[in-house]
Amino acid sequence: MNDESKVGMFVLAGLALLGTAIFLLGDYSFRIYYPVYAEFADVSGLPDKSVVKLSGVEIGRVKEIGIKGDKVIVRLSVSEGVKIYRDARFKVGSTSVIGSKYMQIDQGTPSAGVIGSGDTVRGDDALPLDRALSAAISDLQSLIKELRGDGSLPNNLSQTVANLRDLTANLNSLVANTRPDAEKFMGNLDSVSARLDRLLSQGEELLGSVNRGEGTVGALMKDEGMKKDVSDAVVNLRDATASVKDVLGRITGFKMYWHWKWKYDPVFEGSHNDVGLRVYPREGRYYHIGAANVINTKDQDRGGADYEKINTVDALLGWELGRSDLYVGALRGSAGAGARYKALSLGKSGGVEAYAEASEFSRNRVIKGRFFDKPRLDAGVDLRLNKNFSAGVAVTDIAEVSRVNYHTRILFEDEDISYLFGLISVGGTGVKGR
């Protein structure tokens, strides 16, 4: 082989390598693709040429990212033959908190139809994991700063607690004034109950003697009419004794708790309060009534819009079943239901509790310029330190304006008002019996 042939072969090999490099680096392919355009408000660092995944499977590449007006337009190249349904969700995904970004598509349903070549779809502008984590840390720092700020928040909390203390003091005074008569009444009830027990025992002995025909009374009771009257009298005494014991059980069985929940919304940059009274007429069942989202209606929004319905009413009927707590009724003035589950126990009264609530099932209205038509769904986690105090984090209105907020709960028993309600229940029983 002469020198000219060797040079020619070397040049051809170089050109082949150069062509291969250009093909690989230029992202060329023999496969056929069709374009789909996704419109976003923010693509959060999505790089050009990143992969496109449908339900976790790579189906194409991001070809171009550009600005059109106030929107970001992402041109996707999707492999021919791959069907994407029109209700699919397009969003920026991430392999980890600090990992690479890619275009994530959550497949929709066939009944919605198929996205065609050149169609434009609306992307999901939900925050990616890294930015959501950063925002949560920033919100937590803002909350700590506010707690340490000019002292207005601690002063407001102190004033609220002082008002509760005054209310409790007034109730204590009322109970103290009625306690002497109530204790005398209770003593009389105990005495009456004891006497009824003795009388009932004696009556049963007498009835036994009568049935056996013993003694003078037994002889008289051979008369069937007399025997029936005595038997009825003994039965009435037994019923009366059971009624008295039931009344005593109602007095001592009532449990009442004051409930206060403080919620802070970092987007709204404000807080709401829930205050209520929880009544346990017996173990495992309770009634809760109170005011929800209590704020001053003259206050102005300091940050983002506050979509909460303010100054509404909670009225719930609940059941405690082991680790679970189920409740239904009025949540923030609308029909709703919720469930709470103690996932982890910490000590005698502490633990980690998860809860979920659903309400406003037929919502169809505009609030501060935004239309709402989906039910309200809330979910959260509480860390209960003891039976009186807990703190946690929740995501509210998940289906519409999903927001993270932080909250604390205070729950304490008021034995004096429990005693007072027990006496009221006795009075109600007496009136009903007349």
Question: Do residues 244 and 229 make contact, with C-beta atoms less than 8 angstroms apart?
Answer: no
> What is the pLDDT confidence band of residue 338, given thresholds at 50, 70 and 90?
very high
pLDDT score at 209: 65
Amino acid identity of residue 216, one-letter, is: T
Buried b (16+ CB within 10 A) or exposed e, 351-386: bbbebebbbbeebeeeeeeeebeebbbbebebebee
**What is the CATH code for 31-126?**
2.40.30
Mention every residue, 6+ apart, whose C-beta is less than 8 A from residue 246.
Answer: none
> What is the pLDDT confidence band of residue 432, given thresholds at 50, 70 and 90?
very low
pLDDT score at 274: 92
> What is the pLDDT confidence band of residue 248, given thresholds at 50, 70 and 90?
low
pLDDT in tens, 109-131: 999 999 999 999 998 876 655 66
User: CA-CA distance, 241 to 52, in Å (whole number)?
Assistant: 78
Element (H, E) at 132: helix 129-147
User: CA-CA distance, 383 to 393, in Å (whole number)?
Assistant: 9
For residue 114, give the DSSP letter.
B
The residue with greater pLDDT, 16 or 148, is 16
Strand runs labelled E in 95-196: 101-106, 120-122
Q: Is the pLDDT reported for residue 251 higher than 70?
A: no
Give Cα 294 distance to the centre of its chain.
18
The residue with greater pLDDT, 83 or 348, is 83
pLDDT score at 310: 83
User: CA-CA distance, 425 to 250, in Å (whole number)?
Assistant: 7
- With DSSP H G I counted as helix, E B as strand and the rest as coil, what are the percentages for the chain, rounded to 5? 35, 35, 25
pLDDT score at 315: 92
Q: Residue 273 forms beta bridges with which residues? A: 262, 294
pLDDT score at 235: 65
In degrees to the nearest 10, what's the CA dihedral of 191, 197, 202, 204? 160
Considering only 54-63, 241-250, 326-335, which range has the smallest mean pLDDT? 241-250
Quote the tokens at residue 387: 């039976």
3-state secondary structure of 356: strand
Cβ neighbours of 2 (radius 10 Å): 7
In this structure, which topology does domain 255-422 adopt according to CATH? Answer: Lipocalin (2.40.128)
Question: Across the chain, what does the average pLDDT equal?
Answer: 77
Q: Nearest 5°: phi and psi at 173?
A: -65, -40
Considering only 173-177, 208-212, 297-301, which range has the smallest mean pLDDT? 297-301
Q: Is the pLDDT reported for residue 313 higher than 60?
A: yes
Average pLDDT over residues 272-277: 90
Considering only 37-41, 264-268, 303-307, which range has the smallest mean pLDDT? 303-307
Q: Is the pLDDT reported for residue 160 higher than 80?
A: no
> What is the pLDDT confidence band of residue 351, given thresholds at 50, 70 and 90?
confident
Q: Is the pLDDT reported for residue 339 higher than 90?
A: yes
User: CA-CA distance, 230 to 207, in Å (whole number)?
Assistant: 7
Portion of the chain with pLDDT greater than 70, in percent = 60
Buried b (16+ CB within 10 A) or exposed e, 286-299: bbbebebbeeeeee
pLDDT score at 431: 42
What does the domain layout of the chain look like in residue ranges? 31-126, 139-252, 255-422
User: CA-CA distance, 149 to 347, in Å (whole number)?
Assistant: 34
Average pLDDT over residues 158-176: 67
Q: Radius of gyration (Cα) for the chain, nearest Å?
A: 37
Q: Is the pLDDT reported for residue 74 higher than 90?
A: yes
Considering only 98-102, 111-115, 284-288, 418-422, which range has the smallest mean pLDDT? 418-422
What is this structure's pTM?
A: 0.45
Average pLDDT over residues 423-429: 54
Question: Do residues 256 and 276 make contact, with C-beta atoms less than 8 angstroms apart?
Answer: no
Average pLDDT over residues 313-321: 91
The residue with greater pLDDT, 378 or 413, is 378
Q: Is the pLDDT reported for residue 282 higher than 80?
A: no
pLDDT score at 357: 94
pLDDT in tens, 198-209: 766 766 676 666
Mention every residue, 6+ apart, whose C-beta is less than 8 A from residue 146.
Answer: 153, 264
